[in-house]
Amino acid sequence: MSTQRRVRELDSLPLAVGKAEISDSNKGGKRKTKEEEEMERFVRSTKGALEKLHRENENLRANSASNQKYMDVVRENKTLKQALADRDRQIVTLGDKLNSYKDQVEKKAKIDEKCRSLERQLKGEIEKTKTLQVLIFVVCVYKCVCACVCVYVCVSVCGLFLCAVSLLCHARLTVTRTSAQGRNRKK
């Protein structure tokens, strides 16, 4: 029961506490009847109850200011509980975001490792390509040297100038064709 409601109830009571005296109509030495004695006891007990209610009413009025403070504290407590619940929801949301970011970081790390692996493979392939280019160059030079030797032999032995020119032209065509094929393979 709230304090303010109790104060209102006590104020609305029709009985007023006062110093009402029981009239002594029996002072002439007459004996009181049993019924009169019961009524006097009832009046005394009612008077005590009214005084008790009056004291309680006064206490409630005096404590109504502290009850107001209590209600303010209760309201503030409710507000703080709501704020705490909001913070808890924010913490859960931020935790979910954090887990999402952790997953993304792990995926990025895997992708980075795969990129490094592919870069190593690419460097190996580039080295192989360079090696093949050197071999192609060596083969071309070898063919060219062989063709020149043939031309020299033909010219010196046969003395045929035309034979030397045709072999030399054939060697140049072979070298040109071989280097063109090597470039096409790279593409």
137-186: per-residue pLDDT in tens?
888 887 777 766 655 554 454 444 444 445 555 555 555 555 556 666 65
The pLDDT of residue 166 is 54
pTM: 0.35
Mean pLDDT for the stretch of residues 45-54? 90
Average pLDDT along the chain = 76
The pLDDT of residue 93 is 95
The pLDDT of residue 34 is 86
Read off the pLDDT of residues 51-102 as tens digits, 9 standing for 90 and up: 999 898 888 777 776 677 888 888 999 999 999 999 999 999 999 999 999 9
More confident residue, 16 or 6: 6
More confident residue, 137 or 20: 137
The pLDDT of residue 3 is 66
The pLDDT of residue 176 is 55
The pLDDT of residue 62 is 74
Mean pLDDT for the stretch of residues 12-21? 50
The pLDDT of residue 101 is 95
Task: Report the 3 state secondary structure along the chain.
Answer: CCHHHHHHHHHCCCCCCCCCCCCCCCCCCCCCCHHHHHHHHHHHHHHHHHHHHHHHHHHHHHHHHHHHHHHHHHHHHHHHHHHHHHHHHHHHHHHHHHHHHHHHHHHHHHHHHHHHHHHHHHHHHHHHHHHHHHHHHHHHHHHHHHHHHHHHHHHHHHCCHHHHHHHHHHHHHHHHHHHHHHHHHHC
More confident residue, 11 or 58: 58
The pLDDT of residue 84 is 95
